[in-house]
A and B are shown apart, each in its own frame.
Chain A
């Protein structure tokens, strides 16, 4: 027995030596800047990109994103789809939780039912507008028994999902944290409300484990997970996150070598561009979300519903110089946007072409064109029988320094070109802005939307009648029908027809100027030259570190 023990010890020592040798170069942590706090590590409660990024570092879902954003196998080694496209059978690989337990289909079943039952912010990904998982609507919105959800763990390694209708992008949904597994036994062993609040109350099955974290912390760290099924391909020793909200500070932290990856904005981008050394480290990646103007069309607002007038909205949309906004005020490589679905996030799976690659498509109704705007404005004045308009434009003062600049630039453009129109700016917190929009108590809002999944429907689905995100309360029967056909109707199994129908829907949105798109946000990153392999995506998970290395 003693001999065996000493033998084991020797082996263990040797093994640990081998490990240290193998990773001698990579025991450095990657220092990464976050722009806001990580709000929650619970997939049911997390709503922000920062939280999703950290969760995705620690937990693997059924699929994961490859460098191009396509879904590739993760915990699911493979999957079968039934002939009619409504039943997905995932075959799981052998993977372990960090506490040694096996990752099983039951973990997925538990996590999915929990999402539906808790009916949180992202539960809608299961419902009939997106994932179309069977019975999800009844559970989320009517409080039906969560056991009726269309998911089943046939055995420990087989997970079956039943959908109401075929969903062409379903596998790519699976890399979103909402669909990640949670170990039921571990979860139930915790005191209520404490899951994901410390390294002890959070369980990983992914590339990294939590090393240091408390809710609301300004700095947190992750270290590599030795029990990860794909640990051989993880090169980083760990990641150290630091929350920085001041762009100047971010620039200095990078210059000092404190962090390897920071995001800069505003004048700091210009400063980095003009510095020959920094310019080499500067790269622009798409952040996904699109900023746009939302117009309230109800009678409660805008002097008795003046903005319900299409020509008035078109007039406003056509005096905004979007290139001016991105060149002079946002400055971080954001793209001036002239389509209702922003570019660079949803590519057709048949042609591979980006849905909004052609930004010139709607220039006749959405461009900087003061002459056209004057014509629209004259029409609107005539139709409304009024020459003077005063609208309030609301925006979030805590949504980035550039937003106040953008709002002021828009105000100056409108007031310079549209004679008799006054725009009063009203900053407020983001939560108050959302509150005002939800309660139909605003004229014009400077707002944004980030894609949750790689399909144009994440934007187009918002403008149907009665959608809770349709803050303008615009309503168009033809449009509603088109969207219904695409989500649950005639086009669900005909990919190209659906694609064409969505373009048709987008055309209606643009011609009616339901919204005035402004720009698609990008991030200007400074990445030290010894860092490689960090993957950037505009949708779902903005940054993925599994293939990253340093030094």
Chain B
């Protein structure tokens, strides 16, 4: 491969030559053509217009908006609180609990069968049914969505802020910097999460804060690896060389020149780190270092439903479907963003 000396200062020279203004002269007013298509709108405005022209991206945005809306108002749409056990006392002073009731809407049942339910909770509506403790799953699903949405957005932030920067910087500088940074990744990734989070739990109150710290510890690693790989691939390309020759500093090259060209795999990676993070939260909660009962999240609801999956599959379906829709929405938005952020020539 051809040798490329990129250093702005030739080796061996005593001191860099400092140009003075007299070295340059103005060529005068040349007849420059400006592409109106590019100049007519700013970059971000272009992204915006492009994004909203994409039908799937808009659908994705609507899905996420609806889920967020339901997470806010869903639990208010009936009279049950997320921790209310639906129960009453019978004649023998024993408690009857509406536990593990399959989904029911009395008037629909009446419509199809012509008769009401014949049990103690005949007039109650449970759109998603109830859980093993006798709590309404509709309320709990949307209540849990709040936690999982928070986890999703925190993960995106961790991916973008820590993961991406770490990977890009590591890949760009290479050599000793890369070596040290990658060994750090290996160490961070090698201590089992359960061990490190248990230790952290000694110093921190258990709950959402600890979950976020746990995510901060390792959730960025996948993204950093992708960003580094992309950086390694792109940094040797001619336009980077050109930019560097023009005197651009590292930060400019990394974040303005290279980043837009790595956006594809970065967005894909971001999408796939969300469900992983949501299940990580559920695992942490199960072992007692995450959110505590009777709080819930999509992940913990899936785990609870899993216990009854063969006989009461309705319990696991709502959280899984909400998660799938959430992912569908994020993926559509991600695809739209990718196309909008790195427009190809024919899209102009």
Contact = CB atoms under 8 A, between A and B. Distances in A.
Q: Do A and B contact each other directly (Cβ–Cβ < 8 Å)?
A: yes
Interface of A: 246-249, 251-252, 266-268, 270-271, 321, 323-324, 327-329, 397, 401, 404-405, 407-409, 411-412, 424-429, 432
Q: Which of A249, A327, A412 has the most CB of B within 10 A?
A: A412
A252 B310 contact: yes
A393 to B, nearest CB: 10
Interface in B92-118: 94-95, 97, 99-100
A424 B307 CA distance: 24
B133 A248 contact: no
B283 to A, nearest CB: 11
B68 interface: no
Contacts of B97: 324, 328
Interface stretch (B3-11, B25-33, B229-237, B286-294): B286-294
B94 A407 contact: no
Contacts of A425: 292-294
Contacts of A268: 311
B181 interface: no
A411 to B, nearest CB: 8
Contacts of A270: 100
B261 interface: no
Contact of B292 (A266, A321, A323, A424): A424
A412 B133 CA distance: 11
B225 interface: no
Contact of B100 (A267, A323, A404, A426): A267
Contacts of A407: 293
Contact of A328 (B134, B287, B294, B307): B134
Contact of A247 (B95, B100, B134, B307): B307
Given A328-B97, A409-B85, A425-B292, 16 more contacts: A266-B308, A267-B307, A270-B100, A323-B94, A327-B95, A328-B95, A329-B99, A397-B286, A397-B287, A397-B288, A405-B132, A408-B294, A412-B294, A425-B294, A426-B206, A432-B288
Given A321-B95, A409-B133, A246 B307 contact: yes
Contact of A401 (B94, B206, B294, B307): B307
Nearest to A270: B100
B83 interface: yes
Interface in B279-315: 286-288, 292-294, 307-312
Nearest to B135: A408
A31 to B, nearest CB: 19
Given A412-B85, A425-B292, A248 B287 contact: no
Main secondary structure of the interface of A (DSSP, over half): helix
A323 B311 contact: no
A329 B131 CA distance: 11
Contacts of A429: 287-288
A267 B313 CA distance: 12
22 contacts: A248-B310, A252-B310, A266-B307, A267-B100, A267-B132, A267-B307, A267-B312, A271-B311, A323-B94, A323-B95, A327-B95, A328-B95, A328-B134, A397-B286, A405-B132, A405-B133, A407-B293, A408-B293, A409-B133, A412-B85, A427-B288, A429-B287
A428 B287 contact: yes
Nearest to B198: A432
Given A407-B293, A408-B293, A426-B292, A266 B85 contact: no
A329 B83 CA distance: 16
A427 B287 contact: yes
B310 A404 contact: no
Nearest to B95: A324
Nearest to B100: A267
Contact of A267 (B85, B288, B292, B308): B308
Those 4 A-B pairs whose CB atoms lie nearest each other, nearest first: A427-B288, A324-B95, A248-B310, A428-B288
A428 B85 CA distance: 24
A247 B312 CA distance: 12
B94 A266 contact: no
Interface string B124-157: 0000000011100000000000000000000000
B81 to A, nearest CB: 11
A412 B132 contact: no
A426 B83 CA distance: 16
A252 B307 CA distance: 13
Given A397-B286, A426-B206, A329 B292 contact: no
Given A405-B133, A427-B292, A412 B83 contact: yes
B286 A329 contact: no
Contacts of B132: 266-267, 329, 405
A374 to B, nearest CB: 17
A87 B248 CA distance: 95
A251 B310 contact: yes
Contacts of A424: 292
Interface in B295-346: 307-312
B133 A251 contact: no
Contacts of B310: 248-249, 251-252
